[in-house]
């Protein structure tokens, strides 16, 4: 028989409902509702090649409504990606299967980004679209000429991050970004009228987007709407009016299909309603062949692109950037050598700016930005002119007051490839970024967070702006490297480590206040092991002072006073606890001292967690309350972070 588009879409529906039923867990409604739209997208619009999932000029497809993960798993299998296999799909949501409950980019090559937290896939796609436009401006249409397609649900469009992402995309005129809105009017609680009455298309139009609508179950209407969106120079929202759980005889159009298996009786009725006479997980050969033939059509475009790449003057540079490889060079070492000759007394945010000057001059793939705090975060350099809708070749993004949207866009740029993104705000506002920072860590993205005003040292702005728990809470995040450097040299070394790290994100916590220089030896990157001995005891060692950031100089002053009292004290600078924890036992034990040595931590933040280094018998100096509004010196005195407050307590403890 002739295979129709409806037959092909029903294959998606069948796999979705069968996999969710077998797992007794999942979300069948969205894949069933969006199957027709996805069929048109993958048939006529999306540029992809299942045999080359990482082809640099492929279109990026983001399933922002990640709960409907069986949609993308079905599409990848049907179009001929190596995985997921049918066996993988049969084991949906099981420990051994790459078909996780929500799509994870490191489990399947056809999944561009981990999604699930609603709205973040959409916002990440904005970053992908920025990356495409920037690289197109640098390398031209021959190498970079693709689009970013997103499927998003009502929840994605309600989340606050959506407003940030929509505003940024409209402002930058990202016309290669097309969002397919699964406009089914249903959330978990029920109909969307329970929770919202906003005019969504009007909001998008007001943000500079093109908006078009279609019947999400009329193939010709879908094709017309996608064609219109593809042709418009603005980012596009395509409102696809669909029925959630399409085909389920008693549950379609209701929240009952959103997050639970349909049940054997409803699935039997769905098979009848769809005319799908096949047993669970059986895709007829003619339908599978039609899907595989569709998947194979992208090979020609990919082959043509490879030919253009091979003959391109910038082929080597483009390949290097897309592979995430750093160029050979000594820019950072030359910069460090200059610092060592005349170590400056700078705030580490200023030290970061100066290091970035050398880095961005040497690494054209670095794209920076700030959430409306450029002059405070010191993230702009002479090499980074603004990236705007009139000039995508720029390398600095004015994100506006969109911390969450900025962090998600950074993920998108990093995942797209060819770019190393960094972005700044105040450390206290990592609370606004945290969801995206967590996805940076989960997805192993090379995103660098420049977080300034890292303690009560910012002074009079008070407790709402003074981070207390933030550094330690970020250290709790798996796969996040948190750097808190003590001076200009440590700051440059930490930047070098953050850039070198290709398998995860980094956060630099930087001071507002000036700090004295503590180092002049740059022959080895001492920060590479996470912690090192900055000062060895002169008298018999009885104390090890472990400090970070602005408190390392305080620890040095405390050590001097202890030595004057005949008490030998080591000072250990710990710019990155995660790297230190990765060292062998011998190194860690040597640095922290043996038995009979008092271990003391000093950090202008919560003392929680420092007992892992000091032991329960050690001393921990920090702040376990919120801050206060006052000049810096008054604050450090008030919270007991001074030589005169700390030294007597140490002397008393050691008797």
Structure tokens at 185: 């009017």
Which distant-in-sequence residues (6+ apart) come within 8 Å of 62 by Cβ? 112, 113, 115, 121, 122, 124, 125, 128, 148, 149, 150, 151
Pairing of strands 532-535, 568-573: antiparallel
- How far apart CA 93 and CA 303 sit, in angstroms, is 35
Q: Say whether 528 is catalytic.
A: no
Taking the CA atoms of 543, 544, 546 and 547 in sequence, report the sign of the dihedral they define. Answer: positive
Q: How far apart are CA 123 and CA 408, in angstroms?
A: 6
Quick one: 325 exposed, middle or buried, by C-beta within 10 A (0-12, 13-18, 19+)? Answer: exposed
Round to whole Å and give the CA distance between 445 and 6: 38
- Residues 1-18, buried b or exposed e (16+ Cβ, 10 A)? eebebebbbbbbbbbbbb
Strand 190-191 to strand 210-215: parallel, antiparallel, or no bridges (unpaired)? unpaired
Q: Which residues pair with 386 in a beta bridge?
A: 396
- Rounded distance, CA 329 to CA 339, Å? 18
Closest CA to 225 of 237, 235, 243: 237
Catalytic residue among 164, 403, 493, 551: 403
380, two tokens: 């702009």
The angle, 0 to 180 degrees and rounded to 10, between the axes of the packed helices 120-139 and 160-172 is 20
Integer-rounded Cα radius of gyration of the chain: 28
Q: How far is CA 509 from CA 396, 426, 428, 604, in A?
A: 20, 9, 10, 12
Gap between the Cα atoms of 492 and 499, Å rounded: 11
d(Cα 364, Cα 361) in Å, to the nearest integer? 7
Specify burial of residue 648 (Cβ count, 10 A radius: 0-12, 13-18, 19+): exposed
- Give dist(CA 330, CA 302) in Å, integer: 36
CB 454 within 8 A of CB 508: no
The DSSP letter of residue 566 is: T
* Spatial CB neighbours of 597, under 8 Å, sequence gap ≥ 6: 541, 542, 543, 544
Q: Is 301 exposed, middle or buried (0-12, 13-18, 19+ CB in 10 A)?
A: middle
Distance CA 562, CA 646 (A): 10
3-state secondary structure of 449: strand
Cα–Cα nearest to 396, from 429, 428, 415, 421: 421
Q: Is the dihedral of CA 471, 476, 482, 487 positive or negative?
A: positive
Burial environment of residue 275 by CB neighbours within 10 A (0 to 12, 13 to 18, 19 or more): exposed
Residues tagged active-site: 403
């Amino acid at each position: 028989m002739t295979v129709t588009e409806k037959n092909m879409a029903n294959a998606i529906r069948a796999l979705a409902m069968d996999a969710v039923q077998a797992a007794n867990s999942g979300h069948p409604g969205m894949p069933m509702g969006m199957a027709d739209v996805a069929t048109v997208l993958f048939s006529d619009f999306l540029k992809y090649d299942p045999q080359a999932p990482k082809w640099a000029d492929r279109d990026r497809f983001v399933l922002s409504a990640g709960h409907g993960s069986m949609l993308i798993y079905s599409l990848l299998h049907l179009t001929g990606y190596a995985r997921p296999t049918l066996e993988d799909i049969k084991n949906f949501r099981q420990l051994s299967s790459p078909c996780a409950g929500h799509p994870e980019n490191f489990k399947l090559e056809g999944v561009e980004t981990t999604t699930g937290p609603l709205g973040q896939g959409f916002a990440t796609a904005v970053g992908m679209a920025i990356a495409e436009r920037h690289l197109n401006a640098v390398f031209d249409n021959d190498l970079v000429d693709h689009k970013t397609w997103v499927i998003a649900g009502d929840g994605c469009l309600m989340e606050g991050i959506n407003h940030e992402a929509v505003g940024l995309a409209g402002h930058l005129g990202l016309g290669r970004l097309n969002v397919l809105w699964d406009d089914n009017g249903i959330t978990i609680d029920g109909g969307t009228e329970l929770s919202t009455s906003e005019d969504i298309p009007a909001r998008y139009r007001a943000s500079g987007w093109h908006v078009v609508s279609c019947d999400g179950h009329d193939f010709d209407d879908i094709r017309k709407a996608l064609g219109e969106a593809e042709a418009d120079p603005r980012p596009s929202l395509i409102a696809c009016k669909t029925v959630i759980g399409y085909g389920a005889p008693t549950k379609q159009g209701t929240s009952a299909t959103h997050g639970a298996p349909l049940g054997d009786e409803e699935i039997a009725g769905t098979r009848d309603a769809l005319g799908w006479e096949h047993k669970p997980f059986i895709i007829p050969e003619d339908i599978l062949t039609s899907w595989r033939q569709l998947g194979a059509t992208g090979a020609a475009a990919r082959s043509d692109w490879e030919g253009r790449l091979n003959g391109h003057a910038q082929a080597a540079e483009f390949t290097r950037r897309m592979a995430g490889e750093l160029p050979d060079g000594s820019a950072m070492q030359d910069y460090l050598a200059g610092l060592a000759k005349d170590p400056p007394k700078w705030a580490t945010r200023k030290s970061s700016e100066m290091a970035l000057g050398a880095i961005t001059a040497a690494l054209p793939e670095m794209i920076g930005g700030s959430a409306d705090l450029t002059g405070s975060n010191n993230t702009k350099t002479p090499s980074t002119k603004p990236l705007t809708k009139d000039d995508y070749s720029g390398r600095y993004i004015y994100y506006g007051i969109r911390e969450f949207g900025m962090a998600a866009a950074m993920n998108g740029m990093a995942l797209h490839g060819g770019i190393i993104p960094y972005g700044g705000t105040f450390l206290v506002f990592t609370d606004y970024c945290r969801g995206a920072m967590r996805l940076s860590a989960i997805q192993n993205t090379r995103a660098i967070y420049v977080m300034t005003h890292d303690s009560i040292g910012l002074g009079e702005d008070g407790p709402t702006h003074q981070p207390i728990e933030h550094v330690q809470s970020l250290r709790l995040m798996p796969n996040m490297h948190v750097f808190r450097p003590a001076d200009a040299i440590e700051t440059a070394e930490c930047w070098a480590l953050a850039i070198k790290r290709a398998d995860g994100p980094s956060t630099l916590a930087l001071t507002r206040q000036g700090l004295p220089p503590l180092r002049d030896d740059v022959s080895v990157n001492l920060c590479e092991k996470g912690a090192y001995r900055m000062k060895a005891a002169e008298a018999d060692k009885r104390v090890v002072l472990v400090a970070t950031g602005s408190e390392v100089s305080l620890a040095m002053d405390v050590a001097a006073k202890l030595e004057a009292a005949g008490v030998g004290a080591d000072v250990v600078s710990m710019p990155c606890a995660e790297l230190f924890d990765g060292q062998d036992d011998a190194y860690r034990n040597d640095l922290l001292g043996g038995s009979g040595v008092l271990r003391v931590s000093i950090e202008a933040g919560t003392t929680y967690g420092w007992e892992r280094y000091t032991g329960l018998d050690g001393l921990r100096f920090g702040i376990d309350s919120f801050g206060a509004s006052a000049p810096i010196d008054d604050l450090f005195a008030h919270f007991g972070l001074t030589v005169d407050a700390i030294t007597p307590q140490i002397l008393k403890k050691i008797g």
